[in-house]
Chain A
Amino acid sequence: MALLAQAFEGVRIAIGALRTNLLRTILTTLGVVVGIFVVVIMGWLLQGLDKAMNDTISLFGNDVIYIDKFDWSGQVRWSEMRNRKDITMKQAEELQSLMTTPQTIAPMARQQGETVKKEGNKVTDIIIIGTTSSYAAMLGDAVTSGRFLSPVEDHYRQNTAVIGYALALSLFPREDPLGKTIKIKGRSFTVVGTLKKRATFIFKDVDNELYMPLRSFLSIYGSSTSLTIGLKAGSEERLADVRSEAMGVMRNVRNIAPDKKSDFGMNEAQQFRDQIATFRLTVWAAGIGLTALSFIVGVIGIVNIMYVAVTERTKEIGVRKALGAPRRSILFQFLVEAATLCLLGAVVALALSSIVMISVTSLFEWASFLPSFVPLHLLATATLVSLFVGVVAGFLPALRASKMDPVTALRFD
């Protein structure tokens, strides 16, 4: 009860001191403001990165392995991978017939930088993917209108296409794309389905993809492209089984001697986690460095202003002691005052970071992966950190105040 009254009093004194010495207060709390600002912005970026990572992982599927000539992790030299033999349709079919653990197997072929035309309209830089109806399992619920490619279309090499969100929007800004005809390399294709918006911060191109039956693809681009084979395990628990079976079968299919390294990559969405982790670490390190620096400046500022406040109010401390204030009350009063200063700094910092967040996310398209408001846990963190800094910075000045000799303090002018 008494503590609460004293806390309120401390807050009131701090605000009063702030008003009478506005400029001094602003200057001395600047470090705390910058510190909290950096903490909040850093947390915001990390939260955005985590979301981008999770989006990316779910885009690729967390239970899917992609067998490819190339290793996507960046750990194998490009010159080595480039000279590997292509993964052929025959190998894909063999693998498909030999493997038992995956839920679904879908071979894919890919061609970048293509142009898709429609009467009076043309979109460039499109990624064409040839695959089978099985690939639907890997898309999950991404098909928003129409349907995915059917086994019949695949088998009879029919010219049907499923188009990504951005492509659909560019080709058919005002009409329903379903049933419409588009042209690829002079051949007509019928749109049978469209996909939802799937682009992530890391993979921005996926909405400019077009899916067609694998056999149609091969008849256009020839059978010389190397395939990617998607293996969907069905659940993350079964991933390990699929991984080891795929490794054995694929080595077999590609006739690799037991003492030789595999000449293909087994790529999984989890690998992106490692790549993002590095980026995350960079943000952390930069953020922690800046934060530490500004908090050191901030603590020095608060320590200073509190020593000045204690000296200026020596007489007041003497009076309070004469009236019966115990040491802990004086200590508490100045701690509350320092914490209030830091809390006010945090409020300013939160206001500033909110402005930055709202501006960045509304002005820049690429920033759409970031939250557009201060996340609640950052609000709590900022508050706690500022209280902590206040208490740490205020401690020595408050201790000096609490230990003052009342007679000496009363005589102070």
Chain B
Amino acid sequence: MKDVIIDIKNIAKIYHMGGEPVYALRDVSLQIRQNDYIAIMGPSGSGKSTLMNILGCLDTPTSGIYRFKGEDVNQMDDNDLAAIRNREIGFVFQTFNLLPRYSALKNVELPLIYAGVSSDERRKRAEQSLTNVGLQDRMHHKPNELSGGQRQRVAVARALVTSPSIILADEPTGNLDTKTGNEIMQLFHDLWTSGNTIILVTHEPDIAQHAHRILRLRDGLVESDAVNPNPVYSGPSVAST
């Protein structure tokens, strides 16, 4: 069996809206192992983003246990969580979330600044990471000089630059057309092939079919969690051609 990276048990997240409790997550348990490729599915409001924020240590659960590589995340303070996010987790967002004033290269370097990497080393690793996603010719472009697909590639390069244990992608194709979305999915496939662990949050069944395991949420509960017998593979990615 491969190593367990994420282990959550009976996670609940309750928000309070004007005194009324909102159960974003009621009782979710889940294990994620090295080199898993899991899609978290569910209708809007089912708790996907909440779960992903908790898994990504951006947020903490109201109750339940969360162990990341065996360590109790609930015991960690703000700075510990920031360190985990920096070293162990690579985020890819629906809206890319690149800093508009920075070039692609600077955007990719950003996590390395917080990791305390020297400037020469930062540059080298960011260039390598951008090359890996096929953007070696676009390093000095600002986000507004790039297409949507290219921006999401920069975001993937940024997520990968610290060599994290897990890639967390929340609706990564939500703002892209089908063709570009598929290219990003090919990129994820390549990442999985080279050993990465991927958590993909989506409400689109077509996109979820790329994953090797599909977990369905409904009203803050796990509806189903099963292996995908026939993951979609739509050909080699642009990056590797």
Contacts and interface: CB of A to CB of B under 8 A. Distances in A.
Interface in A311-333: 315-316, 318-329
B113 A9 contact: yes
A316 B99 contact: yes
Interface in A354-413: 405-407, 410
B201 to A, nearest CB: 14
25 contacts: A1-B116, A2-B117, A5-B113, A5-B122, A6-B113, A9-B113, A13-B101, A316-B99, A320-B110, A321-B85, A322-B56, A322-B58, A322-B85, A322-B91, A323-B85, A323-B114, A324-B84, A324-B85, A324-B162, A325-B86, A326-B82, A326-B114, A327-B79, A329-B114, A407-B58
Interface in B147-202: 158, 162
Interface in A296-346: 315-316, 318-329
Given A5-B119, A324-B85, A315 B97 contact: yes
Interface residues of A, number: 25
A16 interface: yes
Interface string A39-59: 000000000000000000000
A324 B114 contact: yes
A358 B59 CA distance: 59
Interface string B107-124: 000110111111100100
Contact of A324 (B53, B59, B82, B98): B82
A327 B116 contact: no
A323 B58 contact: no
A140 to B, nearest CB: 61
B93 interface: yes
B41 to A, nearest CB: 21
B87 interface: yes
Contacts of A325: 82, 86, 114
Contact of B86 (A13, A315, A323, A407): A323
Contacts of A323: 85-86, 91, 110-111, 114, 158
B166 to A, nearest CB: 13
B83 interface: yes
A407 B158 contact: no
A1 B78 contact: no
Q: How large is the interface on B (under 10, 10 to 19, 20 to 34, 35 or more residues)?
A: 20 to 34
Contacts of B93: 410
A407 B59 CA distance: 7
Contacts, number: 69
A403 to B, nearest CB: 9
Interface of B: 53, 56, 58-59, 78-79, 82-87, 91, 93, 97-99, 101, 110-111, 113-119, 122, 158, 162
Contacts of B83: 324, 326
A324 B99 contact: no
A329 B79 CA distance: 10
Nearest to B79: A326
Most buried by B among A315, A318, A322: A322
Contacts of A410: 58, 93, 97
B110 to A, nearest CB: 6
A6 B113 CA distance: 7
A329 B110 CA distance: 12
A407 B53 contact: yes
A143 B83 CA distance: 77
A13 to B, nearest CB: 8
A270 B117 CA distance: 62
Q: Please give me the 10 A-B residue pairs with the lowest Cβ-Cβ distance, nearest first.
A: A324-B86, A2-B116, A326-B82, A323-B111, A324-B85, A324-B114, A326-B79, A406-B58, A319-B97, A325-B114
Nearest to B82: A326
A157 B79 CA distance: 93
A405 B81 CA distance: 12
Most buried by A among B79, B99, B118, B162: B99
Contacts of B110: 320, 323
Contact of B113 (A2, A316, A319, A328): A2
A13 B113 CA distance: 15
Interface string A262-294: 000000000000000000000000000000000
Contact of A327 (B82, B85, B97, B162): B82
A324 B79 contact: no
Given A316-B99, A407-B58, 18 more contacts: A1-B116, A1-B118, A315-B97, A320-B110, A322-B58, A322-B85, A323-B91, A323-B111, A323-B158, A324-B82, A325-B114, A326-B78, A326-B83, A328-B79, A405-B59, A406-B59, A407-B59, A410-B97
A315 to B, nearest CB: 7
Nearest to A322: B91
Nearest to B56: A322
Contacts of B56: 322
A324 B81 CA distance: 8
A17 to B, nearest CB: 9
Contacts of B122: 5
A338 B84 CA distance: 29
Nearest to B111: A323
Contacts of B119: 5
Contact of B114 (A2, A318, A406): A2
Contacts of A326: 78-79, 82-83, 114
Contacts of A5: 113, 119, 122
Contacts of A315: 97
Contacts of B117: 2
A215 B117 CA distance: 88
B73 to A, nearest CB: 14
A9 to B, nearest CB: 7
B101 A16 contact: yes
A321 B93 CA distance: 14
A407 B116 CA distance: 24
Contacts of A318: 97
Contacts of B91: 322-323
Given A1-B116, A2-B114, A319-B97, A324 B87 contact: yes
